[in-house]
Structure formats: structure tokens, C-alpha cells
């Protein structure tokens, strides 16, 4: 369905500015049983801003060479799952948080999962607000992020 792109374009229609499309290349993608198309091993990450001018910390994350970070991120699993079927690796959250926020800022993850964004945000000196539909995963977030 190209759902991520549909959401990005709908947000653009709503007035958001689409500034970057990043391709997350998964080094250990899940196998698929489909016989008539390629196995998906990438996901899309969009940088959207509410206004033309916005905070962006170019030095938050750089290439090993010191060059500006490229828009393809090769990131493998890091054992962060906590049993969640779709948790992302901490490095993914770390890059987004470092590029788009400063210490003391608040980061929002409207699909909290098992709390990756909250854990990483806290470790980087940011606050976080996480929204999670499932009570089961809300409890996991509570215990992983707040140690409850």
C-alpha cells in the first residue's frame, strides 16, 4: 500500500514540511513467505517540521568521517525487544532524538510499543511522552522507563 508515504504526503497536504526521507536498512530483516515479490528489509523514516525553520542539530550525529549524516541508516537488532513484536533498535531512536532535540526537551512517541523512545530519551537527558494503545505494553513501558 505504500502506507508510510501516504501518511507523509497526507501530512504535507495538511501543511507539514517534508524535509528528509531516510531509509532504514535492516541487517536482519524477518523472512517472508511471499513467492511473488522481494523480501522487505527496509523501512521509511520521515523528517517533518511544522514550520520552515526548526531545530536541527547537524552535529548531533555524524558519519565516522565527520561528514553530514547520510539518509540511509544501516542498523541491526540490539536485543531491545522486551518481547514486543515490532520494537525498533535503540540506535534508531538515538539518532532521531540527537538530531531533533536538545537536553531538557520533551520527545513524543505516539506509538510507544515497549518504550524504546522513553528509555533512550531519558539516557540522553530528554523527557518523553509515550502513547500506547495496549494496556499490556503500557505496563511494560511503565516498568522499563520508570522502573515501576
Ligand X SMILES: C[S@@+](CC[C@H](N)C(=O)[O-])C[C@H]1O[C@@H](n2cnc3c(N)ncnc32)[C@H](O)[C@@H]1O
Q: Give the footprint of ligand X on this chain (CB under 6 A).
A: 84, 86-88, 111, 113-116, 131-134, 137
Could you tell me the smallest distance in angstroms from the CB atom of residue 69 to ligand X?
Answer: 20
Query: CB count, 10 Å around CB of 63?
Result: 9
Query: CB 139 → ligand X: shortest distance, Å?
Result: 12
- Grid cell 500500500 is found at 1
The residues near 6 (Cβ < 8 Å, ≥ 6 apart) are none
98 by Cβ neighbours in 10 Å (0-12 / 13-18 / 19+) ranks as middle
Cβ proximity to ligand X, 3 vs 67, nearer residue? 3
Residue number, 30 or 133, with CB nearest to ligand X: 133
Residue 18 Cβ vs ligand X, minimum distance, rounded to whole Å = 21
Nearer to ligand X, 17 or 138 (CB): 138
Q: How far is the CB of 32 from ligand X (least distance, A)?
A: 17
Answer for the pair 92, 113: CB distance below 8 angstroms, yes or no.
no
Q: How far is CA 106 from the centre of its chain?
A: 15
Q: Which residues lie below 8 Å from residue 1, measured CB to CB, with a gap of 6+?
A: none
- Which CB, 5 or 111, lies closer to ligand X? 111
Amino acid at each position: 500500500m505504500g502506507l508510510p508515504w501516504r501518511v507523509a504526503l497526507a501530512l504535507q497536504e495538511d501543511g507539514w514540511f517534508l524535509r528528509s526521507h531516510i531509509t532504514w536498512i535492516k541487517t536482519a530483516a524477518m523472512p517472508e513467505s511471499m513467492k511473488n515479490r522481494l523480501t522487505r528489509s527496509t523501512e521509511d523514516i520521515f523528517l517533518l517540521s511544522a514550520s520552515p525553520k526548526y531545530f536541527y542539530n547537524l552535529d548531533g550525529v555524524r558519519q565516522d568521517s565527520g561528514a553530514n549524516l547520510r539518509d540511509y541508516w544501516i542498523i541491526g537488532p540490539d536485543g531491545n525487544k522486551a518481547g514486543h513484536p515490532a520494537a525498533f533498535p535503540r540506535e534508531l531512536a538515538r539518532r532521531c532524538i540527537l538530531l531533533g532535540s536538545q537536553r531538557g526537551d520533551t520527545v513524543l512517541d505516539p506509538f510507544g510499543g515497549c518504550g524504546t523512545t522513553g528509555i533512550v530519551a531519558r539516557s540522553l537527558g530528554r523527557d518523553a511522552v509515550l502513547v500506547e494503545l495496549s494496556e499490556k505494553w503500557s505496563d511494560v513501558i511503565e516498568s522499563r522507563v520508570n522502573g515501576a
